[in-house]
C-alpha cells in the first residue's frame, strides 16, 4: 500500500530547466541516514520556464514511512538541493477532511467505542462514592459481595443475637494467637496463614510453662512428619508418652493451604493442669536440616467441672 503527496521546490534562477531531478526517500536513526528504495525520477515539472520552481508529484510513498525525502540533480548527486520530513501522522493518517470525520462516524450503522478515546468514564472518586453510598436495601443479589456485607451488618446491628456454638467450642476458639483448651474435652483448632516450605520434613506443636524450658519438660508436644513415623503425641506434662498413647494428639498439615490442624483427645486434655499464660509454638524442620518457627502464642488450660469423658 502507498499514499500520494505533492511537493514544491524553489531552487532559484541558477537552477532552471533541470530535467534530471531525483527524489530519494530515507529514514534516519542514531544519526545514520538510510535510503529507502531507489531514487525517483518521475513526477517533476518546472512550474514556469526559467523560474527554478519545481513541482513534484509522487503516488508511491510507502505506508507508515517515517523519515523524509531529499532532492538532488543526477548530474551532481553529492549536492543536496532540498529535503523534507515525512511522518505518518502528518500526511498518511490525514486522508479525510476533519469536518467530515464526525459526520462519517455518526452516520455509520455501527460504531466502536474505545476507552478513554471516544467514550468518557466517571472518575475513580465518583465510582467509589456511588459504591459506598449505595443503600443496603438495594443490595439483594445472592452471591454478591454487596449482599454478603449487608447480611453481615444485619447480624451485628441486631438488638439480640443467637450464639450457635456450644460453650466448650466458644472457649476453644482461637483468640488471635491465643489457644484456649477446655480440660476434659476434645480439642480441635486449625492454625491458618502459615508459610510452610515445600520441603518440610517434620512439624512440631510444643507447649511449655516457660519458653526456656527444655523440650523434655513440655506440657504438650505433638509431631507430624512426611515419613509418617513416630508421629502423634510425644510428651504430656513433662513425660514421654508410651507407644500406645501417641494417638492422644495429632497434627494435620496442608503445605499448599498453609494450615496446621491440631487435635487433642479428651483423655489427653483431662490430664492437663489448669493454667493460663503458657507458651506454644509451631515449628517446621526441613529436609535440608534447617528449621523455622511458623507461629507462636499463648496457651490456656481452662478448667471445667465435668471430668467424665465416656
Calculate the average pLDDT of the chain: 88
Is residue 118 in a domain?
A: no
Cell, residue 103:
459526520
Same-domain check for residues 184 and 59: no
Same-domain check for residues 294 and 172: yes
The CA distance from 147 to 141, in Å, is 6
pLDDT in tens, 252-279: 999 999 999 999 999 999 999 999 999 9
Confidence label for 2 from pLDDT (cuts 50, 70 and 90): confident
Quick one: pLDDT at residue 161? 61
> Which range marks the domain in which residue 17 is found?
2-90
Which secondary-structure segment (H or E) carries 38?
A: strand 32-40
**Residue predicted with more confidence, 103 or 34:** 34
Cβ-based neighbours of 248, under 8 Å, separated by 6 or more? 232, 233, 236, 241, 264, 265, 267, 268
Residue after which a domain boundary falls, among 90, 113, 135: 90
Residue after which a domain boundary falls, among 90, 123, 150: 90
Percent of the chain having pLDDT more than 90? 62
Quick one: pLDDT at residue 295? 93
Is residue 106 in a domain?
A: no
Is residue 26 in a domain?
A: yes
Query: CA 195, 196, 200: angle at the middle one, nearest 5?
Result: 160
Is residue 308 in a domain?
A: no
Domains held by the chain: number: 2
Same-domain check for residues 62 and 181: no
pLDDT in tens, 165-197: 555 454 445 555 889 999 999 999 999 999 999
The CA distance from 310 to 307, in Å, is 9
Confidence label for 300 from pLDDT (cuts 50, 70 and 90): very high
Amino acid at each position: 500500500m502507498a499514499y500520494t503527496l505533492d511537493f514544491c521546490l524553489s531552487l532559484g534562477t541558477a537552477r532552471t530547466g533541470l530535467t534530471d531531478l531525483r527524489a530519494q526517500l530515507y529514514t534516519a536513526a542514531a544519526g545514520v541516514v538510510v535510503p529507502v528504495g531507489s531514487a525517483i525520477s518521475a513526477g517533476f515539472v518546472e512550474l514556469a520556464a526559467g523560474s527554478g520552481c519545481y513541482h513534484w508529484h509522487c503516488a508511491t510513498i510507502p505506508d507508515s514511512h517515517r523519515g523524509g525525502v531529499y532532492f538532488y540533480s543526477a548530474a551532481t548527486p553529492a549536492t543536496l538541493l532540498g529535503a523534507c520530513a515525512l511522518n505518518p501522522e502528518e500526511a498518511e493518517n490525514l486522508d479525510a477532511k476533519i469536518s467530515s470525520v464526525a459526520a462519517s462516524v455518526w452516520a455509520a450503522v455501527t460504531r466502536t467505542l474505545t476507552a478513554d478515546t471516544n467514550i468518557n468514564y466517571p472518575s475513580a472518586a465518583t465510582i467509589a462514592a456511588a459504591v459506598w453510598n449505595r443503600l443496603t436495601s438495594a443490595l439483594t443479589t445472592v452471591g454478591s459481595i454487596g449482599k454478603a456485607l449487608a447480611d453481615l451488618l444485619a447480624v451485628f446491628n441486631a438488638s439480640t443475637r443467637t450464639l450457635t456454638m456450644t460453650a466448650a467450642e466458644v472457649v476453644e476458639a482461637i483468640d488471635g494467637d491465643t489457644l484456649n483448651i477446655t480440660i476434659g474435652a476434645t480439642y480441635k483448632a486449625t492454625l491458618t496463614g502459615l508459610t510452610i516450605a515445600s520441603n518440610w520434613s517434620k512439624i512440631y506443636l510444643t507447649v511449655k510453662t516457660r519458653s526456656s524450658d527444655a523440650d523434655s519438660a513440655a506440657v504438650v508436644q505433638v509431631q507430624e512428619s512426611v515419613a509418617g513415623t513416630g508421629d502423634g503425641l510425644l510428651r504430656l506434662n513433662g513425660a514421654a508418652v508410651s507407644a500406645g498413647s501417641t494417638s492422644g494428639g495429632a497434627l494435620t498439615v496442608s503445605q499448599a493451604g498453609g494450615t496446621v490442624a491440631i487435635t487433642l483427645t479428651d483423655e489427653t486434655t483431662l490430664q492437663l493442669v489448669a493454667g493460663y499464660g503458657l507458651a506454644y509454638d509451631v515449628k517446621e524442620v526441613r529436609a535440608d536440616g534447617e528449621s523455622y518457627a511458623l507461629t507462636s502464642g499463648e496457651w490456656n488450660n481452662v478448667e471445667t467441672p465435668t471430668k467424665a469423658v465416656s
